[in-house]
Structure 1
Amino acid sequence: MNPCPCGLKADYDDCCGRWHAGAPAASAEALMRSRYSAYVRGLEDYLLATWHADTRPERVEIEAGLKWLGLEVRRVLEVGEYATVEFVARSKLAGRAMRLHETSRFVREHGRWFYVDGELR
C-alpha cells in the first residue's frame, strides 16, 4: 500500500491521487486534503490549477528541504457553492518544527472546487 499523505487511511491512488490525475475533488475538504498532498509531493502545477483565478499567484514554489509531517482537519463548513476548512499542517525545515493553522475558503464553479484564500490562525 502507498499511504496517502493527507492523513486518511487510504491508498494514494484511491485518495488524493485521483484528484491529482484530473478528477474533480468531491468536496472542499477533499480538495484541501489533495492540495496538502500536492505540497508533500511537489505538485506545483496541481496547486496552481486548483487555485481560483481571482487569487492565483503566477507561480508556486515549494521550499526545498521542507518536510511535511501531518495534517489535521479541524472543521469543515460547506454551504452550497462556498466552503471553509480549518486545518493544522505540521512541517519541519532545517531541524525546526513549524505549524500552519489556517481557515481556507473555497468556491465551487462549474462542478469543481477551487481554493480562494486562507486566514492564518
Structure 2
Amino acid sequence: MLARLFYQDIKSWSQKNHFDVVTYIPASQSHFQIRGFDPVYELYADIFDLKLLLKKNDADKPQAQKNRSERLKTPQTFLPLPELMKIQKNQRILILDDIYTTGRTLMHAYDIFLRAGFKNICTFSLSR
C-alpha cells in the first residue's frame, strides 16, 4: 500500500506536533463505493486517532476532474456531523488531506470548524 511509503515521515511529524483532535477529509459516499476504501483515512489511520467529524456530499464531479478555475468555484460540500458539536471549542484541531492542489477542499473543511466556533485549526496534506 502506498501509505506505507510515507508512514515514517508522517509519524515523525506527528510526534513533534500535538493536536487534541485529528480529523480528515472524508470521501463522498459515491467515491467510497467506487473505490471500496477512503484514501485519506487509509493514509493516516495507522498514525493518528482519527475522528470522523465531517460528511462530504457528492459534487457535480470529482475535484481531480476539474481545472483550477472550476475547483476554486466549487461550493461548500461538507456538513458537520453531530460529533463535532461534542468537542470543546478550545481544542487544537488538525484536518488531514492527501493532496493540496488549490486548497479549496481544506478551506471548505476549515470553514465548517470556524463556523462551529473553533479557533485553533491546523491543516496538513501529504503533497502540494
The answer to whether the superposition gives a TM-score over 0.5 is no
TM-score, normalised on structure 2? 0.27
- Taking structure 1 as the reference length, what is the TM-score of the superposition? 0.28
